[in-house]
Amino acid sequence: MELNLSARELARRLQAQEISAEALAQAFLARVKRLNPKLNAFVFLDEDKVLEQARASDARIAKGEARPLEGMPVAIKDIFCVQGEPTTACSRILQGFRPPYDAFVVQKLREAGAVLFGKTNMDEFAMGSSNETSAFGPCRNPWDPARTPGGSSGGSAAAVAAGMAPWALGTDTGGSIRQPAAFCGVVGVKPTYGRCSRRGIIAFASSLDQAGVFARDVRDAAMLLAAISGHDPLDATSAADAPAPDWQQACEEGMRGLRIGRPKEYFPETLDARIRKAVDEALEHCARLGAEIVEISLPHTEYAVPAYYVIAPSEASANLARYDGVRFGLRVASSELEELYMRTRAEGFGEEVKRRILIGTFALSAGYYDAFYKKAQQARTLIRRDFAEAFQEVDVIATPASPTLAFRLGERTHDPLAMYLSDVFTIAVNLAGLPALSMPIALIDGLPAAMQWIAPAWREDRLFQVAAALEDDLGLRLVPPVEEA
Ligand code: GLN
């Protein structure tokens, strides 16, 4: 079975009964068995449940009742609740937790006929940029197993890059889809805040968290995102009236006449010169395709990382208060209730998660609230305004996705600040609630390099429009050398 085909083509072959869902699932399972011991992209995968779903899809196809994603495997980041399946956010504190319900977007996948294909590795509670804070050990980059796949959704990115699944779900709070997509050479999309429901996604920072997708090309990403988008009455932050244009159509529109902003703050001295060159060459392609490249400024960009590292930990410190050893997962027994809380949290949380809880609790405490949390929220407003003003001038913004190529495992684990700076190009987008897409544009010394497209709120169509046109023009086909490695 050819697993390197696009998800769209696999879906078409399933619908046409040229292949069966069961055979497709078997082929992907075999590939996971072969590659996962090396990459550690999946942390849970119940073969029987996968095959059971695939057979149910085959039965529907045979009856002429196929739904849009019928029989298509989708790997799920371990932060999404899947009913009855282990769901841990890769934390010891959720050991043994099996949710009583599906996340809304998981439910949407089921309703679309998809086969839920295991849970993927991630940084604990999505806090990290390298997958190294996972309680299950790091996931590895299929391009070079000595390097990180990025994080926090590293397992999903690695799974799609290595052909272990045609599609995967991730979440993005500050870059957790776009940065791993960049490091692994796949397409990653974080939609507008509110486009997808957050219900049943283990909360990290509620005002920033969004579900999104990984795919091997832009049109596949558009197709999966369409399947998980939509209003959920049980999530007050999910938009009730979000216009959802036809994103497949947008992929065919080309970019003639579009104005692309190139913000100077996203091309600093610290940017890897090879990445700068790759992005500028990609923009030359865009100019040849009829777009106009406009130099712009987003003057408050430098406040994005510091504002995020006050706001996200503050929200996390509140969200993570619920893990107390009473209701979910791990419990370290004790005769005193308070001691039970303390011991469970001391043993259950990893170091980075504890660091975030401490920072967040401090930032929110009386006397510091105005100095830190309020200031960060004010910076957030300025960042949001920067984008609003820029979008008066341009249709879409182009930046690098990450300041470096995939770095080595262990390289930044002892330097939290260096780790936090991995996200300098992705974080502002979350603070402003905007949609953004990361796509591979070059292979540099054997590693993928990527750029990011940012659009106004609810204009994912523009992301898909420019990204698909550029992807067609570049004709890049990135397949990691994972079999030999
Ligand atoms: N790397 C960032 C952090 O550690 C973003 C993570 C994310 O998007 N979930 O918070």
Q: What pLDDT, in 10s, does the model give residues 314-360?
A: 999 999 999 999 999 999 999 999 999 999 999 999 999 999 999 99
Q: Measure 183 CA to ligand 1 centroid, in angstroms.
A: 15
Alpha helices in 212-268 (DSSP H): 218-228, 247-250
Give the C-alpha distances (Å, rounded to integers) separating 386 from 15, 182, 391, 458. Answer: 46, 25, 9, 17
Catalytic residue among 152, 153, 229, 438: 152
pLDDT of residue 484: 57
259-263 and 187-190 strand pairing: unpaired
Q: Which of 96, 43, 85 is nearest to 328 (CA)?
A: 96
Answer whether 173 contacts ligand 1 (Cβ < 6 A). yes
Tell me how far apart the alpha carbons of residues 135 and 140 are, in angstroms, rounded to a whole number: 14
Q: Measure 83 CA to ligand 1 centroid, in angstroms.
A: 25
Q: Measure 346 CA to ligand 1 centroid, in angstroms.
A: 22
Answer whether 176 contacts ligand 1 (Cβ < 6 A). yes
Q: pLDDT band at residue 206, thresholds of 50, 70 and 90?
A: very high
Residue 375 annotated to the active site? no
Is the model's pLDDT at 485 over the cut of 50? Answer: no
73-77 and 259-263 strand pairing: unpaired
Q: Work out the average pLDDT over 443-472.
A: 98
Residue 334 annotated to the active site? no
Nearest CA to ligand 1 atom 10: 127
Q: What is the dihedral of CA 188, 190, 191, 197, to 10 degrees?
A: 110
Reported pTM: 0.98
pLDDT digits (tens, 9 = 90+) for 34-61: 999 999 999 999 999 999 999 999 999 9
pLDDT digits (tens, 9 = 90+) for 111-165: 999 999 999 999 999 999 999 999 999 999 999 999 999 999 999 999 999 999 9
Alpha helices in 394-482 (DSSP H): 416-420, 427-432, 460-474
Count of C-beta atoms within a 10 Å radius of residue 404: 19
CB crowding 308-334: b at 16 or more within 10 Å, else e = bbbbbbbbbbbbbeebbbeebbbbbee
Which amino acid, one-letter code, is at 79?
I
Residue 119 annotated to the active site? no
